Structure 1
Amino acid sequence: MFLTRKNMSQLLTKTLKTAQYTKLRTQTTTPTSNEDSVNYCANIVKSHDYENFLATLLMTKALRSPALVIRAFNVEIARVQDQTTDPQIAMMRMQFWQDTLKDIYKTDQSLRQVPANPVAQELFKVCSVYKIPKRNLQKLIDSRQRLMKAKYFGSLTDLEKYTDDSVSAIYYTMLWLAGVQNLHADHAASHLGKAQGLANMLRSIPMSSQYKMVYVPMDLLMKHDVSQEDVLRCRDSENMRNCAYEIATSANNHLKKARKIDVPKLANQIFLPAVAVNNYLKKLQKCNFNVFDRSLVQGSATLPLIYYFMRLLNKY
C-alpha cells in the first residue's frame, strides 16, 4: 500500500506527538516511587474500570498511555461520590478537579505549577502534547456536578444527555488523541457513549441505596408504578423489570446504530468497549431484566478473549 502525502503527514504528526509525550513523561516535580505516573494511572483504571482497562491495553502502543491517562482522569471524577457520603466534601473534591483543569489550560502553564497529583500531572502532559480541546474534559466534570446536585433524572432523555456528556465525551477525546476527525466516527461515539452509559446506569442500580441515589428516570418510575423506595431497597418486581427493559432497549438501539456506522479503521480499536456493553445487555436479557440478579455482578471469564478476537478483526 502506498502512502499518500496526507497519510505521510498524519503519520509524521503522530510520531512527533508520541515522542513529545514520551519526553514529557520523564519529567517530574516530585520524588517518584518505583512506578511512574502512567503506571499509577493504569492501576487506577484497572482497579475501578476493569473492562475499559482491558480494551485500552489492546490499543496501539502510541495511543495506549495517553488513553489510560484520560480514563484515569474520568475514574477520579466518577469515584468522588464513592469516596464520601458527605455532599460538601464530595463537592470540594470535585472543585479540586475543576480548578486543576482550569490550571492545566492556563496560557504558558508549566508542569511545576500543576498540583502534585500523578493523574493531574500526566493529564497536563497529554493535553500539552495533543492539544486536547478543553470542552470534552470539562463535560466530564460538569455532568457529574449536576448529577450530584439533582440526584435524579427526570426522563430517559435527561439520562441520555448525561451519558453523552459523561461517556461519549471520553470517546470524542480518544478520537482526538488518535487524530481521527471524522463526522461518522463522532456520530458512532455519541451512540456508543449513550449505550455504555445506560448500561452502566443499570449496573449501578443495586448500589444506589448506598448513596441514596435513584438512577432510574422519574418518568419510567411513574409509568410503571415503581417507587423510589422500591429501587433503594432493591425490590425486584415485574414493574421494575419493565423499567429496566425500556432502558436496556434504548441502550441496545444505540449500540446497534453505533455498529452500523462505517468509521475509520483506527476508530475501531477506540470503540472496542462496545463488546463489554453487548455482553452485559445479553446477560441482563438472560436474567429477564432483573437488575438485582447476582450473576450480573460476576465478571466474564471470556471477555478478554472476545476483546482480543474483535481486535484482531479490527471490529467493535
Structure 2
Amino acid sequence: MPPRLSNPPIPVAFRVPPRRCIGSASSSLPRRFASSSSSSPSSASSTLQTSYISSLLRKADYENYLATLFTPSASRQAVWAVRAFNVETALIRENVKNPQLGVGRIAWWRDAIEKVYNGTPPVHPVAQALAQALETAPLSKSWFKRILSEREANLQDPQYASVADLEKYAENTASALLYLQLEALGLQNPQADHAASHVGKAIGIATILRATPFHVEERRFYLPSELMAKHGVAAETVFRSGPSPSLEEVVFEVATAANDHLITARSFLKDSPPAAHPALLSAVPAELYLQALEKSNFNLFDPKLSKRNWRLPFRLWSAARNRTI
C-alpha cells in the first residue's frame, strides 16, 4: 500500500462541466496574438495567454486538464504550456483536409520551437508560454521535435501493421509529452522515465481506440492490420457495418496491450520520486476508459463510451492522495 498523504482539496474546476471543442482550437485566438512578430509579453497579454491556454485545455483535453490541477502551482503553468503545445499540434490533422496544409502548420511549429529556444518566440500564446516555461524548467527540445515528427507522419493516415507500431506512435507522442511534464516538474529520474514511457504507451493506444468511431466516420482506420487479418476483419466492412464480434476480438487484444503497459508502469512508480506522480496521473482517465470498454464487451461503438465518466474527479483525487495510478 503506497503511503497516504494529507487529503488534497478537490479542485473547484472539477465541478465545472467541459465545453466541446468546435472547429479549430486556434479559431478563438485573441486578436493581440495574431501577429507573427516576437515581443516580451506584458502583464495584460500574459493574462490573456493564460486564459487562452486554460480554455484550450478545458475544451480539447478536459480529462488531462483535470489531472494537471494536482500539479504543484509553481510548475503548473509550464505543464499547461507543454500540454497546450500537444493539443495545438494534435488538432492539425483534424482541421486540415489537405495533408500539405498540415505539413505547413507542422513547419510553422518547428520554426516556432526553434525561436522559443533562441529567446525570440512568435507572438502566439502557446509559444510565449513555452518561452516562459524555459525560464524555470529544463525542457528538452528533442521531445518537441519528436512529437512534431510523429504528427507529420500521421498526416498521411498511416496503417499500423502491429501493436508494436501503435506503441511506437504512442512513445513518440504521449510518452514524449510525459517526459516534458516530468522536466517541467524539475525531474530527471530513470524510474520515473520508465513509468512515463509505459503510461504514455497506454494512453496513446487507448486514445486510438477511443477515436476509432470518429475515424471510421472519415474512413480512416488505425487498428493493426496483423490483428485485423488474424480475426478476419476488413476495414471496409467496419466502414459499412460498424461493430462485429470479430472486431471486438481485435479490440480486446489492443486494449490488453494498453492495460499491460499500465501494470508495468505501476511497477516503476513505486521506485519513482513522489514529485513525479502528478505527471503520471493521466493514466487514470486511460484506465477508466479501458475498464468501461471491457464492460461494453470491447464494442468501440457502444454509446456509453462517449459519455463523460462521473467517477473521474474522485478517482483522480484518490490517486493523488494515495500516489497510485
> Which of 233, 239, 242 does residue 232 from structure 1 map onto?
239
> Which amino acid letter does the alignment assign opposite residue 315 of structure 1?
T
1:95-134 matches, within 5 Å, as 95-106=107-118, 109-110=119-120, 114-134=121-141
Unaligned runs of 5+ in 1: 1-25
Once the 2 structures are TM-superposed, how far is the Cα of residue 30 of structure 1 from its aligned partner? 10
Q: Identify the residue that residue 261 of structure 2 maps to in structure 1.
A: 254
1:66-105 matches, within 5 Å, as 66-105=78-117
Q: Which moved more, 1:83-92 or 1:155-164?
A: 83-92
> Which amino acid letter does the alignment assign opposite residue 49 of structure 1?
D
Q: Identify the residue that residue 299 of structure 1 maps to in structure 2.
A: 308
> Which of 285, 308, 315 does residue 317 from structure 2 map onto?
308
CA distance in 2 between counterparts of 1:298 and 1:181 reads 37
Once the 2 structures are TM-superposed, how far is the Cα of residue 150 of structure 1 from its aligned partner? 4.9
Q: Deviations over 1:23-73 (max 9, x none)?
A: xxx94179739x421221111111111110000011111121110110000
Note closer, same or farther for the CA distance 1:233–1:208 as it changes in structure 2 (3 Å cut).
farther
Note closer, same or farther for the CA distance 1:139–1:211 as it changes in structure 2 (3 Å cut).
farther
SS at match of 2:109: helix
Unaligned runs of 5+ in 2: 1-38
Whether 2:159 is the aligned partner of 1:152: answer yes
Q: Identify the residue that residue 282 of structure 1 maps to in structure 2.
A: 291
CA distance in 2 between counterparts of 1:65 and 1:188 reads 23
Query: Contact (CA 8 Å) 2:77, 2:133: kept in 1 or not?
Result: no
> Which amino acid letter does the alignment assign opposite residue 269 of structure 1?
P
Query: Contact (CA 8 Å) 2:205, 2:255: kept in 1 or not?
Result: yes
Q: Identify the residue that residue 19 of structure 1 maps to in structure 2.
A: none
Whether 2:279 is the aligned partner of 1:270: answer yes
> Which of 45, 64, 72 does residue 32 from structure 1 map onto?
45
Give the length in aligned residue pairs. Answer: 285
> Which amino acid letter does the alignment assign opposite residue 222 of structure 2?
Y
Identity of aligned residues (%): 34
> Which amino acid letter does the alignment assign opposite residue 232 of structure 2?
D
> Which amino acid letter does the alignment assign opposite residue 146 of structure 2?
K
Q: Identify the residue that residue 214 of structure 2 maps to in structure 1.
A: 207
> Which amino acid letter does the alignment assign opposite residue 195 of structure 1?
A
TM-score, normalised via structure 1 length: 0.85
Whether 2:201 is the aligned partner of 1:194: answer yes
Q: Identify the residue that residue 67 of structure 2 maps to in structure 1.
A: 55
Query: What is the Cα-based RMSD across aligned positions, in Å?
Result: 1.9
Query: Contact (CA 8 Å) 1:151, 1:213: kept in 2 or not?
Result: no
Once the 2 structures are TM-superposed, how far is the Cα of residue 221 of structure 1 from its aligned partner? 1.3
